[in-house]
Amino acid sequence: MPRLHAGVSFLTDEITVNRPNPFSFLEPVDAIGPHLRDLATALRGNARFLGLEEDEANGRASVRRLATFFRSREGSWEIKRLYISYQAIGQRSATGYRGYTFLYDPRRGGLQECPFPADPKLKSAGHVLSRLEAAGRADVLRYVPLRRLTLRGHWDPPDGPTIIVKVVESGATGRIARRLRAVERAAERASFGVAGLLIHDESGATVVQQCLPGQPLVAAITLQSLEATMRRLGALHGEVHELAVPDHVCGDADDPFPTVLDRLDWLGWVRPGRADFFRAVRATLEGRTPAGASDRRVFCHGDFRCTQILADDDRWAVIDFDEAGYADLCQDVGRFLAFLEYDLPLFQEAGGRESPDRRALLERAETAYLEGYASRARREPDPRALLWHRTCQEVLHLAQRVRRDLADEEEFGRGCTGLEALCHRLES
């Protein structure tokens, strides 16, 4: 079994179902199938993998998977890397956190095993974890292999305030720290809280922030409170867009559209039978790029979702401004609306995606959110621009589900049906 870390616990809400073969949705792709068969052969003969797979099946571990690709010089798609990361689950487990990641990189000799906290991209993770453990507490809030580790605990002294520590890729901490510091100053008189920046260490690729009180808002939203909560969320989002964060500090947020076009091409490669459909979606989006983006340019969170809100009684806080920047407000609002039905357990409990009850509930939530946004924001979203940005975000979400090995043929088909409906609305 993976190495245990005494005093470390793992808190997660990302539990995925067990599958017979990793990345089975990608197996039919001729260029991927041989690699997946090689990976399956290596894993089926690995006693550690088999034990972790059993842990997942019995509910003792969650699994996170990701497949990444790149274009060769000839223009074809090729596998860059696959990973399968098993992570222990449980609230403040007495036995501690367990994590183990299998990396498959065909260009680097195949399978590599990484017992937590070993990570090729997060080289300071072990040092940071040990320092928190020495102070008596280290909760693993989130671990995304090769990208980010978020911890909660105590720095020196052990009886000091609880802090949040993020370990990120080398070179990213300076940019993140500048944004967080600017947001903290701009939000001093806001109705919501933000986490203050305490330390950033570029050499150690770490960012340390205050630990804010409260619990994730998503857990508190009920059928009875849905519309009132959505109106308040909309007004809160409008207030975020009014923050006077210096432009020279944050600059422009990344434009997602090039990635959208890239993902559409990739999806057509993954399912050649639907390649014409994805080309048509691309043509619709390229032909209807909304005008007037500069008039709607505001400070944006970058990933404003229900999962980024902490509620401490009636006091709310917004977290994770790491990717904030200036952009079309419809980009930020469109992302919120596109991810809303996937973020709230309430919608999952209302039936399948095409369930009339679920659709009616979602429409109520969206209407309330937009009413709340309009009550606070200086500029309302342009309906056509909002629809375009939402369609882009749905493309990214579908591709993300496939890359994370969370989509089967039925879900993929529903995603395509949803995209088709959005494109019809854009074309009308």
pLDDT tens for the 428 residues of the chain, in order: 233 333 333 333 443 434 457 898 998 898 898 899 889 888 988 999 988 888 888 888 889 999 999 999 898 999 999 999 999 754 333 336 788 999 999 888 789 999 999 999 999 999 999 888 888 888 899 999 999 999 999 887 777 889 999 999 988 899 999 999 999 999 999 999 999 999 999 988 999 999 999 999 998 999 999 999 999 999 999 999 999 999 999 999 999 999 999 999 999 999 999 999 999 999 999 999 999 999 999 999 999 999 999 999 999 999 999 999 999 999 999 999 999 988 988 887 766 666 778 888 999 999 999 999 999 988 889 999 999 999 999 999 999 999 999 999 999 999 999 999 999 999 99
- 39 shares a domain with 180: no
pLDDT of residue 354: 66
**Of 176, 211, 246, which residue sits at a domain end?**
211
- Asked whether residue 284 falls in the same domain as residue 200, the answer is no
Using alpha carbons, list the distances in angstroms from residue 102 to 47, 91, 112, 236, 289: 13, 24, 6, 40, 41
Looking at the structure, tell me whether residues 228 and 324 fall in a common domain: yes
Q: Give yes or no: residues 147 and 110 share one domain.
A: no
CA–CA separation, 91 and 10 (whole Å): 7
- Number of structural domains (the chain) is 3
Query: What is the residue type of 398?
Result: L
142 and 197 belong to one structural domain: yes
106 and 141 co-located in one domain: no
Could you tell me if 247 and 307 lie in one domain? yes
User: Is 378 in the same domain as 247?
Assistant: yes
Question: Which residue, of 194, 211, 228, is where some domain finishes?
Answer: 211
CA distances to 5, 111, 127, 312 from 81, in Å: 27, 10, 26, 40
Does residue 5 sit in the same domain as residue 152? no
Q: Are residues 71 and 180 in the same domain?
A: no
- 150-153 long-range Cβ contacts below 8 angstroms, 24+ apart: 152/211
Angle at 370 between CA 366 and CA 372, to 5 degrees: 120
pLDDT value of residue 350: 66
Q: Which of 75, 99, 116 is the last residue of a domain?
A: 116
Residues 59 and 184 reside in one and the same domain: no
What is the sign, positive or negative, of the torsion defined by CA atoms of 55, 56, 61, 67?
A: positive
Quick one: pLDDT at residue 278? 98
- The single residue listed with the structure tokens 């928190």 is 132
**Could you tell me the CATH number of the domain that includes residue 177?**
3.30.200.20
Does residue 269 share a domain with residue 349? yes
- Asked if residue 256 lies in contact with residue 395, where contact means CB atoms within 8 angstroms, the answer is no
Q: What CATH code is carried by the domain that includes residue 232?
A: 3.90.1200.10
| CA terminus-to-terminus distance, the chain | 57
Query: Domain range holding 99?
Result: 1-116
* Backbone φ, ψ for residue 249 (5° rounding): -85, -50
Report the DSSP pairing between strands 77-88 and 99-105: antiparallel
From CA 241, how far away is CA 279, in angstroms rounded?
34
Looking at this protein, which amino acid is placed at residue 389?
A: H
